[in-house]
Structure 1
Amino acid sequence: MDELVNFVAQSKHLFVLTGAGCSTESGIPDYRDAEGEWKHKRPLQYQDFIRSENARKRYWARSLLGWQRIALAQPNPAHIALACLERAGWIYQLVTQNVDGLHQKAGSRRVLDLHGRLDTVECLDCQWQWPRETFQQRLQEKNPDFKNFSAAIAPDGDALLEDINFSQFQIPPCEQCAGILKPSVTFFGEGVPSQKVKQAYAYLEDADGLLIVGSSLMVYSGYRFCRAAWEQCKPIAAINLGRTRADDKLFLKIPAPCSQVLPALVAQLGI
């Protein structure tokens, strides 16, 4: 902890990268175990969502059950501590791989949602967007039987709904052009918008240190910033349970829950 306090205290422009481990205490499961391996079946791939109506029906049926857990989730001590660090001037920019919006709920303002947000739905044809809560109501109206199913929550608003005939599930089309609707998030197998990546690199260029919070960095979209910081000779610290893809590049690693470490950090910094 003393080393982490010194690391943060000496950083005037800290770049923070957060992952799923930051939101687990809020009741949102993560994808990987302590070794960085998948805990569940691999998530739906972007190309499957685009090409297969059955895949889209399965996705939205499961999301119909899983969304409410995301909507009701509240920030945990890790999110709140990061917001405190930003207000105190320690955090220059926070880039999150999460799509739950909990950093903003906690009060963080300098947030780049690298993979988008689940609380918005977009049309793939005309790019029209609408709130997920509105779309949720449409899903429930068209599928009254499905909303009564129960299923365990899975990462990113998914639900473990299996052995169900999804063929009868109805997906509302875009109200503007009748096109295909998709949550405004980057799916596995889909590229992060280049403008977001460029913006994040610019923030990293101006930062003088990188703090990784709750991410194994197994996905390249997050790991790229760690590699770039290492190439720029910027110090890198991580708070993460288990192995990360960048263990050989870390100046400091604390293998403990970020919801415990970050509040302790805030207290020791006297914020």
Structure 2
Amino acid sequence: MPSPARPKAPSYQQRTWTLPPDAVVHRGTAEDAARVLGGLSVTALTGAGISTDSGIPDYRSPDSPPRNPMTYQQFVGDEAFRRHYWARNHVGWQHVRRTQPNAGHRALAALEAAGVLRGVITQNVDLLHEDAGSRHVIDLHGRYDRVICLTCGRVISRAHLAERLTALNPHFLETVLAGGLTVADIEVAPDADAVIEQTSHFVPAACEFCGGVLKPEIVYFGENVPRERVERAYAMVDDAGALLVAGTSLTVMSGLRFVRRAAAAGKPVVIVNRGETRGDPLATVKVDAGVTETLAALVDLLAG
């Protein structure tokens, strides 16, 4: 039987949404945001933009390369796609696990410790909020450090899987990193998907308990966020007096729905992001500036 055709390299979609020309956007500064948020309990919603200063590229900033997602349907339905994904992830997770929280992550942890922030709903899978000391975090799209069997439901650590993948592909990393390259030299997406082409001979690992298909415990494009997780996130928005959005273009409904919920309830929405977001028309204040420096300023203004 001929081997399956090599899949095209998956990456993430370019942004196709633009702000309507007649939209009213209330632009402001960190000081304006602090005046809106002062005295209120706040829930934060974060995206990939908060982790760029930790060395993890985002999806949709003006400088991001075009990306097209590998969908859940492709992953579960095509062995060639799974091979391609696990080869790239075997490289990419090495980078993500070495990243450290930046001042933006630490700022949100400080706001929580000061009693200003109720918690964080994050679209990221990098666990940097937890590493920074945030205690109430909803990892909306899952975690990069865990792997689940789609057949028996067992969950294992990504570190344990790395040992198995290395044993199955003993010289793979050496080949990828030939010529003096390091993992840091390779473009890695926020879900630990590294941009490499040498994947056709990679050997994925099956579940060691039942032989089933292993998948990162990450919500893929075309896959639904578990309902229980969404309800907990809604409750965190409902329990707060305001919503602070940081580092996300809100292009997909997964994050935008929380902005819409807060705005529908009459709660102030502050958005901090470089460039347009789909939630801008709903923002009480939009701060078009760097996430790290703006969040650090909010600590001084709200908890100083």
TM-score (norm 1): 0.95
Partner of residue 169 from structure 1, selected from 185, 198, 202: 202
Which residue of the partner structure matches residue 3 of structure 1? 32
Runs of 4+ residues deviating >6 angstroms = none
Number of positions where the alignment pairs a residue of Structure 1 with one of Structure 2: 266
- Matched with 1:154 is 188
Structure-1 separation of matches of 2:275 and 2:200: 40
Q: Could you tell me which amino acid in structure 2 is paired with residue 2 of structure 1?
A: E
Aligned-pair identity in percent equals 44
Cα distance, 1:168 vs. partner? 2.3
**Aligned residue in 1 for 2:294:** 261
Shift in Å, 1:270: 4.5
Q: Could you tell me which residue of structure 1 aligns to residue 261 of structure 2?
A: 228
**3-state DSSP class of the match of 2:53?**
helix
**Offset at residue 209 of structure 1 (A):** 0.6
1:105-131 per-residue CA deviation (whole Å, 9 max, x = no partner) reads 000001000000000011011110111
CA distance in 2, matches of 1:248, 1:9: 22
Structure 1 stretch displaced more, 224-233 or 17-26: 224-233
Q: Distance in 2 between matches of 1:270 and 1:183?
A: 37
Q: Which residue of 1 aligns with 2:130?
A: 104
- Cα pair 2:116 2:303 within 8 Å, conserved: no
Cα RMSD of the aligned pairs, angstroms, is 1.4
Partner of 1:157: helix, strand, or coil? coil
Tell me, what secondary structure is at the counterpart of 1:195?
helix
- Cα–Cα, structure 1 residues 126 and 99, in superposed 2: closer, same or farther, change >3 Å? same
Any stretches of 5+ residues in structure 2 without a counterpart?
Answer: 1-29, 178-184
Q: Does 1:188 align with 2:188?
A: no
Residue of structure 2 equivalent to 1:22: 50
For structure 1, the residue ranges without an aligned partner over 5 or more in a row are: none
Q: What whole-Å deviation, never above 9, does each CA across 1:170-205 have from its counterpart, x for those lacking one? A: 111111111000110101111100110111111211
Asked if 1:76 corresponds to 2:102, the answer is yes
Q: Retained in 2: the 8 A contact 1:8–1:90? A: no
**Is the 2:112–2:134 contact (alpha carbons within 8 Å) kept by the matching residues of 1?**
yes
Q: TM-score, normalised by structure 2?
A: 0.85
Query: What is the SS of the residue equivalent to 1:260?
Result: helix
Which letter maps to 2:212? Answer: G
Please say if residues 99 and 185 of structure 1, whose CA atoms lie closer than 8 Å, have aligned partners that are also in contact.
yes
Q: Which has the higher helix share?
A: 1
Residues 116 and 302, structure 2, Cα contact 8 Å, conserved in 1: no
State how far apart, in whole Å, the 2-side matches of 1:34 and 1:90 are. 31
Tell me, yes or no, if the aligned pair for 2:114 and 2:303 is still in contact at 8 Å: no
Q: Secondary structure of 1:95's partner?
A: strand
Q: Show the 5 A alignment for 1:98-137.
A: 98-137=124-163
8 Å CA contact 1:34–1:243 kept in 2: the answer is: no
